[in-house]
Structure 1
Amino acid sequence: MPAVPTALRLFRYVAIAEACSWAGLLVGMYFKYIAATGDLGVKIFGPVHGALFVLYVAAVLAAARVARWGWGVIALGLACAVPPFTSLWFERRMLARRREPVAA
């Protein structure tokens, strides 16, 4: 398999990190709103997730430029930043698409 361009590698790492930050934020929200034991998790993971969200948007745009994604794929990638863990689904989908042989 050919070397993966830096923008695509960055996109992959950021998509995974963004999903992990979602997990941390959801756990923090559970402890803040359901268990009512404190808001430390939200104070920590809220800003982390916010930063990774912005980085994910930038990574999608950078990867789209390198991989020459169409507007629909870009819109889907950006929309996948909103629901929890869909950045992982989108990253896997784009990885599989990259590995598929091109029909002659």
Structure 2
Amino acid sequence: MDIKTATALHRLRLVSVPEALSFPALLIFGSLLSRISDIDFLMMPLGILHGFLFVVYAVFLLDVWNKAKWSFGRVAFFFLLAVIPFGGLYGDKLLKRYETEAVMASRARREGTVNA
């Protein structure tokens, strides 16, 4: 792995937590608020925000798939985590480990301690 892979993993991590929290926090909160009050105007912007975060997550996941050469199963697992409420929080934990490994491998390669 190289530093570009670590950067792609970092970008995916940056969007994974907001995406993971956007469904339960924004949409469920907005739905409950619109049901108990007359505030219906919040649902559209909250839905758009959640959709935007999901699309950005999917694009960054495809970038990681391309750069890290992940298997289809691993990519499908991370996509499934994005669909499950709070699943991205677990995904963030895994991504942090993968990112750390990629940075360490890049540093080792740069310092010449790994034959590659």
Q: Scaled by the length of structure 1, what TM-score is found?
A: 0.77
Superimposed CA distance per residue, residues 26-72 of structure 1 (whole angstroms, 9 cap, x where no aligned partner): 21111123x24422332221000011111111111111222222111
Superimposed CA distance per residue, residues 71-100 of structure 1 (whole angstroms, 9 cap, x where no aligned partner): 111001111121212112112123224546
Where does residue 13 of structure 1 map in the other structure? 14
Q: What SS does the aligned partner of 2:85 have? A: coil
What is the total number of aligned residue pairs between the two structures? 100
Superimposed CA distance per residue, residues 1-39 of structure 1 (whole angstroms, 9 cap, x where no aligned partner): x96732112101111221232212221111123x24422
CA distance in 2, matches of 1:79, 1:16: 14
5+ residue gaps, structure 2:
106-116
Where does residue 48 of structure 1 map in the other structure? 49
Q: Scaled by the length of structure 2, what TM-score is found?
A: 0.71
TM-align CA RMSD: 2.4
Where does residue 87 of structure 2 map in the other structure? 86
Q: Structure 1 residues 69 and 15, CA, compared in 2 at 3 Å: closer, same or farther?
A: same
The structure with the largest helix share of the pair is 2
Aligned identity (percent) is 30
Larger Rg: 2
For the 8 Å contact 1:16–1:88, the answer to whether it is kept is yes
Deviates further, 72-81 or 15-24: 15-24
CA distance in 2, matches of 1:37, 1:93: 41
